[in-house]
Structure 1
Amino acid sequence: MPPSAMAAKRALEDRAKTITPQTDPIPQPLISALYAESAVLKIWTVAAKALGSVTPPALYPEYTGKDKSYVYRALDFWTSGFFPGSLYLLLERQIRYPSFYNRDSASDNGNPLPHRLLLQHLCQWWSANLHQNAAKRDTHDVGFMIAPWAIKAWELHRDPKAYGSLVLAAHSLASRFDKRVQSLRSWDVCHTKRYSFTDNSKDFLVIIDNMLNLDLLFWVARETGDTALYEIAVAHARTTQKHHIRADKSTCHVVNYHQDGTVKAKFTHQGYSDESCWSRGQSWGILGFMQTYEWTNDESFLQTARELADYFLEHLPEDSVPYWDFDAPVDASCPRDTSAGMVACCGLVLLYKALREREEETAAQHYLDSALRILDGTVSKFMTPSPAKFGVDLSETDLTTFPDNEPAKQPGTLTILPSKSTGATTRVANGASSFLKCPETILDAATVCNYEFASRRWADHGLVYADYYFLLLGNMLLDLGLVSR
């Protein structure tokens, strides 16, 4: 990274640590939801199914079916990094905010939580097979596959293999940069019932989602001093800024370029129409440009993020939970997208942080309040129930000892117990083949794709990256000191 940019970023980081929030406390119901034991339990219940397996997981959760249980995808699918990323976010809470984590997540009921070492084992177990994705050069999604867990693995316990995978993944991603287009290619192929692209010599497809993969390039550029990665990330952001954003500050999902860099066509792959504003695409833009601003301190990226955020907020319904597309006809069957809301919330919190650093207090507070409104609407309507809680099985803690009067016992076994409200009496041990049946995601009402010409449509379900950004939001608020530790 150029020395000036690196110095600016470190100065911003140092300044952020000295900022004392002047906001009213975050409402307790939102704190209780963000750091609920039930949220930890849902992630743990899915993760613990892999305990004792002969090799690490090869299939990864993506979305929930009609029974609210996860449907899994192959390890090279673009969403594979989010579930281990969620595990690492929980581990980060234990390591960086242990007093808060133990107090607010568990002690109200005196319940235990997964031990830090066991949680770290599951983090590494669930990511063990994902290192191979770092070498993939056939997709821009290598950032999503690697960064959510590998950056935390390095920052929290200096995992050298994770560091190596991050560096390799960044160079794999950078291999997709075209100097003529000044952009990273997103997809090599793309199919719907309406169109099909298969020839890279004729089409250069770029999606707004790709903004989220720039963080990987910036991170590795800082760690290794590779200025080329930094320059590629900035160039891609500027090209996206120029061609994906409409005059009214809504975003286009896909831009197809000629090989000389001129625009060939603009259309959607997951939204309502080519001219509509797909809500998650807009949220990818908000968070992506804010991350880019944090790395570069370039005012234009901050301004772009604000404009995208303002459009997003102006088009929210009364309850602040976005519909899947801001231009789709709204009726009883129109699906929401809680994942769009959670991604946007993370971007809004970064806007709050940036504007506080600039001493623009009123504007900063506006974006924080807006994030909390989206969060409130989401948890009020679409946070899934849980009939279970953590417990301890003490039945096998008495062992024969010498001397005979030895008072010590083995620790109990972490279990999942029915909540009192369920009226159930069966205790279910962690790792058992059967367990209390409850929705496996923290949030519901997400939408993968509802485009009418899509090869397949998914709507109104739980979604692994909705939960990931929900947990990330909680960690961001802790990091900014907006929640008491």
Structure 2
Amino acid sequence: MTINSSNGAVAEVRLVTSSRGIRDGSHKWQTDEKFSRQNGDVMYSGIPDNIAMSHESLLDTLYSSKVYAKIWNVASQALTKSQPPVLHPEYTKPGGTEYVYRELDFWTSGFFPGSLYLLLERERRYKSTVLNWAPDTTITPHQMQLEFACKWWTVNLHQNAYLATTHDLGFMIFPWAQKAWELNRDQDAYDTIIQASETLASRYVARVGAIRSWDTCITKRYAFTDPQKDFLLVIDNMMNLDMLFWAASELNDKEMYQIAVNHARTTQQFHVRKDFSTTHLTVFDPDTGALKSKLTNQGFNDNSSWTRGQAWAIAGFMQTYNWTQDISFLETAQSCADYFWGQLPANGIPLWDFNAPKDIQQPPDTSAAVVASYGMLLMHEALIGRNQPSAYFDRALHILKGVCSIHLNMPDEFVVSLSKIDTAEMASDNSQHEVRVRHGNGIPETILGGATINNYEFAPRRWANHGLVYADYYFLLAGNKLLEMDSMESATKNAI
């Protein structure tokens, strides 16, 4: 990689970026990507890193108590109820502020409790780092309150492990149950993951070599209503393999492992195009395994690149590589990420579809942005582990900076209400106080705006430019991945 300095000198450099270098902007360069400086802006593939946010400000934003307060504001509303939640937040309406809720068996039900568990992970594993990177996090609810909220919001979700009508069990179960097991050794959560994985594997059809995504699908343009005639497969399904691989590893189940590998290979073959954009939906003959058609269900058209689908491919193939160490999955993830990066506008925020007409204003999709950034962090980690050059750490940060600079909603904040309690000895105890959220009128309940569930013109219903629960979840997950990378680097240095 060449750097053109201010005096015209050219140098070959490589980039090895760790999360420790984020705060002060210090990086080691180890990449073969074209790089130059123009007017003080770092340029990658024509995209200037001129977003008005420093590395320090990014960390302050990612780990601020104001982000915690957004999640706690919604979570605490359920804690005074007589029964645990059976409805879970999904999205805010375009222009709206309050969450719209869905039934517990809807595919997004696992993301909000998953967000709670990500906050708990920060408390348990990375508290000192978070305090160092975002000093305003000293005032938050007691950890035991957060632990209770995690349990309260998930007690009704275990039953979803038996849902044999969906491929989304990885989304519905793994975001919270994996953390419940890792952090608490929660046996119920462990059993739920195993059951959900067995249920998911039961949707595998050997002739196709994949796990069935949807049983039916109806739009204003086409309808698939008979699973005996049509096998539907979507790119999103790559993200559910992580749970399947995890369970296969725990059980030493070679058949389950092979199901996940076969699914990834089928997706790789039929969903990834020659230019490494991706097809959203493929339809197969379930009896012969023959491909019948390639369509979109949420993108601009059948041949376009729906950006969240592209992001699912990046993260999903990276997760699959991490489990299999099959270099082809890493290469596919890289190529999909390079395509994604090459289509981004300068601000780092993808539109909902890379091929949507540019002559009219198109809505963004921050959920695609944060999923892709998470996948790029996984990619950077894998490449550095292989002693290969990586530009993906800085790409991930560029995207996160864009999201934080443009689509961060107005904050909530924690406030402390002090109370004075008289004791029997006529003394006073001033140590008791309540931590609550100050949530202003007209402020959205989500951390981020600018997400787009579905803007396909033939969709039964279209939502664009709004808050979305899984945009917030992957925003938090990317933050936790940075914390994990920093922790691993520290442990390695201490061992040396």
Q: CA deviation at 1:24?
A: 3.7
CA contact (8 A) 1:183 1:236 kept: yes
In structure 1, the residue matched to 2:421 is 398
Compared CA separation, residues 482 and 342, structure 1 to 2 (3 A)? farther
Partners of 1:470 and 1:117 in 2: CA distance: 24
Structure 2 residue 245 is matched with structure 1 residue 218: yes
Partners of 1:265 and 1:358 in 2: CA distance: 38
Q: How does 1:263-342 map to 2 (within 5 A)?
A: 263-331=291-359, 333-342=361-370
Q: How does 1:401-480 map to 2 (within 5 A)?
A: 401-405=423-427, 408-409=429-430, 411-417=432-438, 437-480=442-485
Partners of 2:323 and 2:464 in 1: CA distance: 34
Give the match's secondary structure for 2:83.
coil
Partners of 1:36 and 1:368 in 2: CA distance: 21
Partners of 1:437 and 1:392 in 2: CA distance: 22
The match for 1:242 among 269, 272, 276 is 269
Partners of 2:85 and 2:443 in 1: CA distance: 22
In structure 2, the residue matched to 1:253 is 280
Compared CA separation, residues 312 and 147, structure 1 to 2 (3 A)? same
Partners of 1:438 and 1:89 in 2: CA distance: 23
In structure 2, the residue matched to 1:93 is 122
In structure 2, the residue matched to 1:130 is 157
Instruction: Supply the AA of the counterpart residue of 1:415.
Output: R
Partners of 1:180 and 1:464 in 2: CA distance: 35
Q: CA deviation at 1:480?
A: 0.4
Instruction: Supply the AA of the counterpart residue of 2:128.
Output: S
Partners of 1:122 and 1:23 in 2: CA distance: 31
TM-score by length of 1: 0.88
Instruction: Supply the AA of the counterpart residue of 1:64.
Output: T
Higher strand share: 2
Partners of 1:22 and 1:447 in 2: CA distance: 29
Instruction: Supply the AA of the counterpart residue of 2:179.
Output: K
Give the match's secondary structure for 1:127.
coil
CA contact (8 A) 1:338 1:444 kept: yes
Compared CA separation, residues 452 and 115, structure 1 to 2 (3 A)? same
Structure 2 residue 369 is matched with structure 1 residue 345: no
CA contact (8 A) 1:477 1:483 kept: no
Structure 2 residue 404 is matched with structure 1 residue 379: yes
CA contact (8 A) 1:153 1:159 kept: yes
Gaps of 5+ in 2: 1-15, 24-54, 491-496
Partners of 2:437 and 2:69 in 1: CA distance: 8
Q: How does 1:199-214 map to 2 (within 5 A)?
A: 199-214=226-241
Give the match's secondary structure for 1:91.
helix
Q: CA deviation at 1:484?
A: 9.8
Partners of 2:63 and 2:371 in 1: CA distance: 18
Percent of aligned pairs sharing the same letter: 51
Partners of 1:28 and 1:482 in 2: CA distance: 18
Give the match's secondary structure for 2:466.
coil
Q: CA deviation at 1:100?
A: 2.4
In structure 1, the residue matched to 2:52 is none
CA contact (8 A) 1:478 1:484 kept: no
CA contact (8 A) 2:300 2:306 kept: yes
Give the match's secondary structure for 2:413.
strand
Compared CA separation, residues 190 and 33, structure 1 to 2 (3 A)? same
Report how many aligned residue pairs link the two structures: 442
In structure 2, the residue matched to 1:21 is 18
Q: CA deviation at 1:385?
A: 1.2
Compared CA separation, residues 44 and 263, structure 1 to 2 (3 A)? same
TM-score by length of 2: 0.86
Compared CA separation, residues 482 and 315, structure 1 to 2 (3 A)? farther
Partners of 1:341 and 1:55 in 2: CA distance: 36
Give the match's secondary structure for 2:345.
coil
Partners of 2:246 and 2:489 in 1: CA distance: 29
Instruction: Supply the AA of the counterpart residue of 1:403.
Output: E
Instruction: Supply the AA of the counterpart residue of 1:466.
Output: A
Instruction: Supply the AA of the counterpart residue of 1:413.
Output: E
Q: CA deviation at 1:101?
A: 3.1
Q: CA deviation at 1:102?
A: 3.9
Partners of 1:60 and 1:378 in 2: CA distance: 24
Partners of 2:57 and 2:216 in 1: CA distance: 45
Structure 2 residue 187 is matched with structure 1 residue 164: no
Structure 2 residue 57 is matched with structure 1 residue 60: no
Partners of 1:367 and 1:482 in 2: CA distance: 19
CA contact (8 A) 2:17 2:393 kept: no
In structure 2, the residue matched to 1:45 is 73
Q: CA deviation at 1:483?
A: 11
Instruction: Supply the AA of the counterpart residue of 1:325.
Output: D
In structure 2, the residue matched to 1:13 is none
Compared CA separation, residues 313 and 303, structure 1 to 2 (3 A)? same
Partners of 1:177 and 1:328 in 2: CA distance: 34
In structure 1, the residue matched to 2:258 is 231
CA contact (8 A) 1:256 1:265 kept: yes
CA deviation string 1:275-295 (max 9, x = no partner): 000000000000000000000
In structure 1, the residue matched to 2:205 is 178
Give the match's secondary structure for 1:124.
helix
In structure 2, the residue matched to 1:120 is 147
Instruction: Supply the AA of the counterpart residue of 1:78.
Output: W
Give the match's secondary structure for 2:78.
coil
Compared CA separation, residues 331 and 118, structure 1 to 2 (3 A)? farther
Q: CA deviation at 1:112?
A: 1.3
CA contact (8 A) 2:97 2:442 kept: no
In structure 1, the residue matched to 2:51 is none
In structure 1, the residue matched to 2:8 is none
